[in-house]
Each structure stands twice: as structure tokens, then as C-alpha cells.
């Protein structure tokens, strides 16, 4: 474990930043936490609202088993304690988008207890420092609706589609010490949630958002008073919010002021936080056990099923890619950072091994290199992501097989890939129709070599006089004349013979 040494330089010396994140993650389910109403993003306002979500008198909440199951699976993926007995509490406050007048949450007995996440400061750099960030708890609660304010300042509207959607609140310990650590933690958490499939992690759609707790102190001193910046909706904004908030706190303290515990908002345009309201104490919410709901009691069969349904998680996958498949640490990190990429790579790998009749470790390196340089390059250029890739893993495997068995060269492989992207044709068809097959026909290659030597007699003399570097020139000329289709190994051998 390497400690990060992020410091803020103030007039009175160096300051350390302390960060804890509370992440709200919407549970990916068909139905809401306590009602059967659907949860799809982007529906017309107020079309996904049951009588329970609208808090009509006399309606009773019924816990949705799938929401609980997803929160338990998430806890397990974070190595956390799962509490077989937990309970829902009412958190009382008034808000126009909260028709019940209270939120059903879990304060005293959360579903999930302590866990941890291992993060790498720079995910793509396997040499960068690693750190374990503690998770305090995960509790399950209802999301609120959404207010929309008309251009006209006199009107506000409420959309209750989000009202009652299940949220997991994932609370970290105050273990982070720099914006980079917080960014790495959030990215890793999102990656794990996506692997587990319990939250889509789409921060731009609000299905994952972070409350950012920040305080400053002299290195190693007592914890300072924190502020909490609410609902920050991108990794970059979280990092910016920490940086500017820590700076602000140092300036306040150094100019003789005092930090008050308060809720703040992040303004993405200015890149800074501003005060929203002073923080009420928890008891102001008058939490009490929700009388409409029985405690949750989980049995072993349920927990066993949750455990058995977990996929291989990013850290384990990364170790396996390095250890069993022999990939470089960098390639293993890149391919496992996100679940869609890993899934695509594994499909490519399985299909490559099948068509080439080899073991996965034998085809893994070529597959990894091609995916990371050629496919990612193309996707970037086209503005697409791996799950909207115009080329399928099967087509990728077919291309790799043509290169592996010498039907086409690496260079021609890149051309074929470009044509695949343009036309959607399969690599086999393209190679056939465009006559791109690599030739080992010694007669044809020898003839080309003879022509080139005749046209470059001076260079032949120089080469024979000891200018070895010219060999590359002859290779290049031969490949060019053969339109890249000559087998490079055969060209080398024949040239050596002819020039020697
Ligand atoms: P609340 O529920 O009132 O927001 P918690 O004690 O549950 O308060 O803490 C919420 C978050 O604040 C946690 O993520 C925790 O790690 C973080 N936190 C607590 N103390 C500090 C501090 N002094 N500086 C920064 N973060 C803190
Ligand atoms: Mg809080």
C-alpha cells in the first residue's frame, strides 16, 4: 500500500484532505422498492406511478424481493457483512417531490455492514499506488420524485416516476486523501456495480450520484469539520468538487474563520461548491421503525443463491488474465476495467480458440492486442462503445484466424478490418473478393525481386559492399510491388538468397 501525498499548500503550511463518499445507486430492477410500478428511464412524466408511490392514504408498501437481492449481491461483491436481520425506518421530512412526507430508509439496522474496495490510483497504470478504502454500510431506501421548474418562474411541476425507485446508499469510511483516490474509488465502485448488474452506473442519467464529504486537517491531526456536497453526477465533477472545497476550507480556516457542517451544491460551470443549507442533525428527522413493514429476515437459501449468482469480479478477472492467459498487466487492467469489454473479449477469445483449434492462452495475446489497439481505435474514431461495436466477436475471431494461419499479413489484416467497418462484410468474403490472400508463391516473388534489383543496380552494389541497412529498402520495395500480399518470411528468405 502506497499512501498518496496530496497536500494543499496554505499560508500556515501544508494541509491534508479527508474524503468520505456516500454513493446513491439506483437498483436495476423492473419494479420499484415497495410497489409494482416500472422504473424505465426517460418515460413520460407521471406514467410510472402506482398509488403507493403517490402515497395515497391506506396504501401499504410491500418489499420487492429483487431489490433486496441486488443489494445483498452488491454487498457480497464488496466483501461486506450481510445482516440477516435488518429493518426499515421512516426518515421524516417535507419535500414537494416526496408525497409521503417521509422517506423509507434504514438507519439503525442496515441490510449490509462493513466491506472494502481495493483501488488503483490510476486504473490503467498497473504500477500506480493501490489502497483499500473501507465501506461502512449499504442501506436500501426509496428515491424521491423530481421537481421541474418552468421557464416561467411562477410554476413548478412534479414528476413522480422516480418516486419509490430502490436506491442503495453505499457509505465509505473517511479513508480517501486526494481527489484522485476519490475518483479511483468511484470508478472502481461503478465497475463492480456493472459487473454485478445491480446498478447501470449511468451517472449522467442520475442512476448513480455521490454526496461528497470533505474536511481538511494538518497532516496526521484530528479530523476536521466536514461539509457535504450533494448529488455530484460525474467522476470528474467529484474530483473538482473536492479540490475546490478543500481549497475553500483552508482559506476560511487560515483567515480566522471556522468550517460549519453544512450541505453544499456543486456548480459545474464554475467548478466550485456553494452553500445550500446548514446540516440538520440526524435526530431532526425523527427516525422510527416503519410500522407498515416487518423486519427483513434472510434465510441461508436466499443468501446462497445470491452468492452463487455473482459473476467473476474485476480483481479476480484481472489476476486470471495475467496469470492464466499470460496477458501484460496493462492489457489485463484495460480489458477488465469494464464488464462489457471483458465480456466482448471473452467471446472473442472463446471463438478464436474454437476456430483456430488452440487453447485460449495461445490465442489470448493476439486477441488482446487487436482489441485494445485496432478495435478500440476504431470505436473511438466512430464515437461508439464496445456494446455498439459494428463488428462482432465472431467476425473479429475470423479476422484473427486469417492472420494467425498466414492467409493474410498483419498489414493486410488492418486493411481488411477497415473494409469490414465500412461494408459490414465478413473478413473471409473481403479477402476472397479483393484477392488479398498472402502469397508464398516463390516464382512470383522471385520475379518481382529480379525486377527491383535490375532497377536499383547502384543499391545492390552498395548492399554487397557492406551497407546492410539497405536490406530493409529491398523488403519494402518487394512488399510494395506485391501490394503487401507477399508472405514476409518468404520475401526475406528469397531476398537474402538473391542479394547474397
Ligand atoms: P451522515 O449520515 O450524517 O451524512 P455519517 O457519519 O454517516 O454522516 O458520514 C457520512 C459520510 O461522511 C461518510 O462517508 C463518512 O466517511 C464521511 N465523513 C465522516 N467524517 C468525515 C470527516 N471528518 N471528513 C470527511 N468525511 C467524513
Ligand atoms: Mg449523509
Q: Whose CA is nearest to atom 14 of ligand 1?
A: 20
Query: Is 442-499 a domain of CATH 1.10.10.410?
Result: yes
Which residues touch 253 (CB under 8 Å, ≥6 apart)?
Answer: 216, 259
- From atom 20 of ligand 1, which residue's Cα is the shortest distance away? 174
Q: Cell numbers for 97, please give them.
A: 417531490
Q: How far is the CA of 171 from the centre of ligand 1 (A)?
A: 8
d(CA 366, CA 375) in angstroms, rounded, equals 12
Residue nearest (by alpha carbon) to ligand 1 atom 1: 282
Compute the distance from residue 213 Cα to the ligand 1 centre, in Å: 6
pTM of the model: 0.89
Report the pLDDT value the prediction gives residue 281, as an integer from 0 to 100: 52
Q: What atom in ligand 1 is closest to the CA of residue 22?
A: 14
Q: What was the pLDDT predicted at 1?
A: 39
Locate the ligand 1 atom nearest the alpha carbon of residue 282 and give its number.
Answer: 3
Ligand 1 pocket residues where CB is under 6 Å: 18-22, 171-174, 213-215, 223-224, 226, 228, 282
Using alpha carbons, select from 18, 29, 290 the residue that is nearest to residue 168: 29
In this prediction, residue 441 carries a pLDDT of 84
Map residue 132 onto helix, strand or coil.
strand
Q: What is the mean pLDDT of each run of 10 residues along the chain (500 residues)?
A: 75 97 97 95 94 94 97 98 98 91 97 97 85 98 92 85 97 97 97 98 95 96 96 96 97 96 92 79 80 97 98 97 97 96 98 97 98 97 96 98 92 95 96 87 91 95 93 93 86 92
Residues of the chain within CATH 1.10.10.410 domain(s) are: 442-499
Report the alpha-carbon distance of residue 199 to residue 205 in Å, rounded.
12
Phi, psi dihedral angles at 94 (to 5 degrees)? -100, 135
- Which residues keep their CB under 5 angstroms from ion ligand 2? 22
Amino acid at each position: 500500500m502506497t499512501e498518496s501525498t496530496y497536500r494543499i499548500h496554505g499560508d500556515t503550511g501544508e494541509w491534508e484532505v479527508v474524503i468520505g463518499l456516500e454513493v446513491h445507486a439506483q437498483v436495476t430492477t423492473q419494479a420499484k422498492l415497495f410497489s409494482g410500478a416500472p422504473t424505465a428511464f426517460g418515460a413520460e412524466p407521471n406514467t410510472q406511478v402506482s398509488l403507493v408511490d403517490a402515497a395515497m392514504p391506506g396504501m401499504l408498501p410491500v418489499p420487492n424481493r429483487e431489490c433486496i437481492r441486488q443489494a445483498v449481491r452488491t454487498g457480497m461483491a464488496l466483501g461486506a457483512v450481510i445482516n440477516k436481520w435488518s429493518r426499515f425506518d421512516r426518515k421524516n421530512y417535507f419535500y414537494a417531490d416526496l408525497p409521503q412526507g417521509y422517506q423509507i430508509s434504514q438507519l439503525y439496522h442496515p441490510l449490509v455492514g462493513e466491506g472494502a474496495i481495493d483501488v488503483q490510483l490510476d486504473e490503467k497504470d498497473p504500477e500506480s499506488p493501490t489502497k483499500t478504502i473501507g465501506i461502512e454500510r449499504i442501506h436500501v431506501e426509496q428515491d424521491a420524485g423530481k421537481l421541474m421548474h418552468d421557464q416561467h418562474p411562477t410554476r413548478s411541476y412534479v414528476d413522480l416516476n422516480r418516486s419509490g425507485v430502490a436506491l442503495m446508499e453505499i457509505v465509505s469510511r473517511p479513508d480517501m486523501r486526494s481527489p484522485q483516490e476519490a475518483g479511483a474509488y468511484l470508478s472502481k465502485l461503478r465497475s463492480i456495480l456493472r459487473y454485478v448488474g445491480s446498478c447501470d452506473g449511468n451517472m449522467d442519467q442520475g442512476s448513480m450520484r455521490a454526496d461528497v464529504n470533505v474536511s481538511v486537517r494538518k497532516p496526521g491531526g484530528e479530523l476536521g469539520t466536514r461539509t457535504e456536497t450533494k448529488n455530484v453526477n460525474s467522476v470528474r465533477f467529484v474530483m473538482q468538487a473536492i479540490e475546490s472545497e478543500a481549497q475553500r476550507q483552508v482559506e476560511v480556516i487560515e483567515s480566522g474563520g471556522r468550517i460549519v457542517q453544512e450541505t453544499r451544491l456543486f456548480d459545474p460551470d464554475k467548478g466550485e461548491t456553494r452553500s445550500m443549507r446548514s446540516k440538520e442533525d440526524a435526530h431532526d428527522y425523527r427516525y422510527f421503525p416503519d410500522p407498515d413493514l416487518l423486519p427483513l429476515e434472510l434465510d441461508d437459501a436466499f443468501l446462497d443463491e445470491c452468492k452463487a449468482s455473482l459473476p467473476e469480479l474485476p480483481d479476480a478477472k484481472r489476476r486470471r488474465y495475467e496469470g492464466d492467459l499470460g496477458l501484460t498487466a496493462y492489457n489485463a487492467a484495460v480489458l477488465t476495467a469494464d464488464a462489457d469489454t471483458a465480456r466482448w473479449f471473452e467471446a472473442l477469445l472463446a471463438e478464436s480458440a474454437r476456430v483456430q483449434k488452440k487453447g485460449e492462452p495461445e490465442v489470448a495475446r493476439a486477441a488482446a492486442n487487436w482489441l485494445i489497439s485496432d478495435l478500440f481505435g476504431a470505436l473511438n474514431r466512430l464515437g461508439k462503445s464496445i456494446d455498439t461495436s459494428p463488428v462482432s466477436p465472431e467476425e473479429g475471431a475470423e479476422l484473427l484466424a486469417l492472420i494467425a494461419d498466414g492467409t493474410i499479413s498483419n498489414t493486410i489484416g488492418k486493411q481488411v478490418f477497415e473494409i469490414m467497418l465500412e461494408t459490414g462484410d465478413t473478413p473471409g468474403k473481403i479477402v476472397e473478393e479483393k484477392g488479398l490472400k498472402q502469397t508464398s508463391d516463390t516464382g512470383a516473388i522471385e520475379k518481382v525481386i529480379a525486377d527491383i534489383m535490375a532497377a536499383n543496380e547502384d543499391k545492390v552494389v552498395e548492399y554487397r559492399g557492406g551497407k546492410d541497412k539497405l536490406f530493409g529498402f529491398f523488403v519494402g520495395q518487394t512488399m510494395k510491388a506485391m501490394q503487401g500480399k507477399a508472405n514476409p518470411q518468404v520475401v526475406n528468405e528469397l531476398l537474402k538468397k538473391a542479394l547474397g
